[in-house]
Amino acid sequence: MVKPLKRILIGGLLLFLYLPIIVLALYSFNASEYLGRWEGFSLKWYGALFSNAEIAEALYYTLGVALLATIIATAIGVLASIGLFYSKAKIKKHVMTANYLPIVNPDLITGISLMMFFVFFRARFGFSTMLLAHIIFDVAYVIVVVMPKMMQIDFAQVEAAMDLGANQWVIIGRVILPQIKQGVLAGALLAFTMSIDDFVISFFTAGNRATNLSIAIYSMARRGIKPYVNALATLMFVGIILLIFFINRINDSKKDNENGRLIG
Amino acid sequence: MKKRHLVVVLIMMIAASGLLTGCGSDKPVLNVYNWGEYMDPEVIQMFEDEFQVKVNYKTYPTNEDMYAKLKSGSAEFDVVFPSDYMLERMIKEDMVAKIDMANIPNYSNINDRFKNLPYDPNNEYSVPYFWGTLGILYNTTMVDEQVDSWASLWDEKYAKQILILDSSRDSIGMALKYLGYSLNTTSDAELAEAKALLLEQKPLVLAYVVDETRNMMVQGEAAMALTWSGEAIDLAAENEDLAYALPKEGSNLWFDVAAIPKNSPNQELAEAFINFLNRPDIAYLNASYVGYSTPNTAAYDQLDDEIKSADSYYPSDDVLDRCEVFYDLGDYNDVYHELWLDIMIDNK
């Protein structure tokens, strides 16, 4: 009695989550530009997407900022977590509390305060200001994900390494990092998606030289979203799916961690 | 050791990103800030080729977003495209520069009807880019008779199938025009009549909305809606059953104009661009791409006869004579606002 109900519930939930995306993907192949009508299979929106310079530029900024912000924020976040691990309990508590601020703070506040900060220092708005802003909120997410992993490490191994004469870099690289690897990966992935997802903070820190996909697509609101945005969303969805499969494959092939899959 | 490599790679990537964004050439840059999907990309390409410049083209979704960005000082743009009321506000706040019309010879292509309008009485700050009206969007499968008067929005046959804008000036303006008054009136008696008329309409109204008009009309949830001609053009592209009518009693005229912000780093190039936009072939390209009504007579002449004769988008002169641009009424705006609130909270 319970089992079929469970299956229906899970199936219904998955359908609820994925059906809109499937519909969107289907309509990206629609020959018609009317939203609710199917007029046969066509790749023309993919053609329109690839010949659109504005979208290409936005995509460049989105991916460029997301990749760089992820790498830098992950590096900072991991080092900060290791540092916090060695800190006094009181300091750790205060820093962790402060670290939640960028996460719970409404994006609008973060965006406007960063903009005012950059204006105050007469920064040249563009790629670099947007990147800095993204690093700032990404670091918070990385620490939140990496810190619990860090608390679980086998400290005896660290002590053993020290006894055997390893310096701090060797300890981080050979002892600590392998143990928190999955947390780092999860933190990086979260930072990457938060960065791609962000509209509000980007809007206020992009200035006149940079843009990103969320700004470009939101700007179409007045004239209606064009079907080539469906094509773009489909491609991004496929890209993310591939990325998750790829990460799961790595985790499966290296069964060196008892915690199993990162994302299942 | 590995760690050090990572640091080197990181530094190189940051440096590379700096190079990539700090535009690769020494060409002058023109910064354009426009509504999304509001200019043919080919026009930008042509301007870049002809003037040997780089156009940094960015887009915004609403007047208020553009205003906020300019006001914050975080972005410098050379050409922006505010609507009439927003330009008026920007002039008052000293945010836009005077345009040297000597540098815009193609200004002569602009229909004289669209010059010296109240938002820029001496044509000092703006060149009209597109214009439109406020009218009735209707679903041809749900409305049988010809729509050509505001009376349709008071037709009891369509009770609970009518959408009205939740926007005081626009909706009170509709009632005033129906009564044959100016939509900039400051006569309390005329406004009282308009209020009575709007209350009479209220039982027929399905909803007072702004952004929801789009979905509700495309999905056929309502038969008629008070909306702007630009929106109507976009919605008719999503549902071919939708048509737009400009009531013969007259209506509101709105404009999106090209203007130059005060902090524009390259005002001369900005003027060259505005002039370029009004060259007959370029204005025609944009009018075809965007689909809104063009104020450029040279571009209008090249349009298909079918578009030119569409009364709803290029109304005859006598209907156009009965259309008005909104004035900024100053303190009297509050009267409109209060009146609209009274109508909204009335639940008889």
How much is the pTM?
A: 0.84
Coil, strand, or helix at residue B117?
A: coil
Strands B79-80 and B96-97: unpaired
A171: contact with B, CB 8 A cutoff: no
Instruction: Tell me whether residue A12 is in a domain.
Output: no
Contact assignment for B219 to A36 by CB distance below 8 Å? yes
Q: Which range marks the domain in which residue A165 is found?
A: 54-243
Q: What element of type H or E holds B257?
A: strand B253-258
Per-residue pLDDT of chain B (348 residues; tens, 9 = 90+): 455 565 555 555 555 554 444 445 678 999 999 998 899 999 999 999 999 999 999 999 889 889 988 998 888 999 999 999 999 999 999 999 999 999 999 999 999 999 999 999 999 999 999 999 999 999 999 998 889 999 999 999 999 999 999 989 999 999 999 999 999 999 999 999 999 999 999 999 999 988 888 888 988 899 999 999 988 988 888 888 999 999 999 999 999 999 999 999 999 999 999 999 999 999 999 999 998 999 999 999 999 998 888 888 899 998 999 999 998 888 898 999 999 999 999 876
* Burial (0-12, 13-18, 19+ Cβ within 10 Å), A167: exposed
Query: Is A1 contained in some domain?
Result: no
In a domain, A189, yes or no: yes
CB contact under 8 A, B234 and A125: no
Mutate to test the interface with A, among B33, B70, B74, B77 (most CBs of A within 10 A): B74
CATH of the domain at A146: 1.10.3720.10
CATH 3.40.190.10-classified regions of chain B: 20-125+255-314, 132-252+323-345
Tell me what ipTM this predicted complex has.
Answer: 0.77
| Domain-located, residue A257 | no
Whether A101 is in a domain gets the answer yes
Give yes or no for A223 touching B (CB within 8 A).
yes
Task: Tally the residues of chain B.
Answer: 348
Query: Which residues, numbered 190 to 209 in chain A, qualify as contacts with chain B under a Cβ-Cβ cut-off of 8 Å?
Result: 203-209
Asked if B57 and A223 come within 8 Å (Cβ–Cβ), the reply is no
Q: Is residue A178 part of a domain?
A: yes
CATH class of B20-125+255-314: alpha beta
Asked whether residue A226 is assigned to any structural domain, the reply reads yes
Tell whether B190 lies on the interface with A, counting CB pairs under 8 A. no
Q: Is residue A129 part of a domain?
A: yes
CATH fold of B132-252+323-345 reads D-Maltodextrin-Binding Protein; domain 2 (3.40.190)
Q: Which of A147, A136, A74 is CA-nearest to residue A102?
A: A136
For residue B299, how far is the Cα from the chain centroid?
A: 19
Does A120 contact B at CB distance below 8 Å?
Answer: no
How many distinct structural domains can be found in chain A? 1
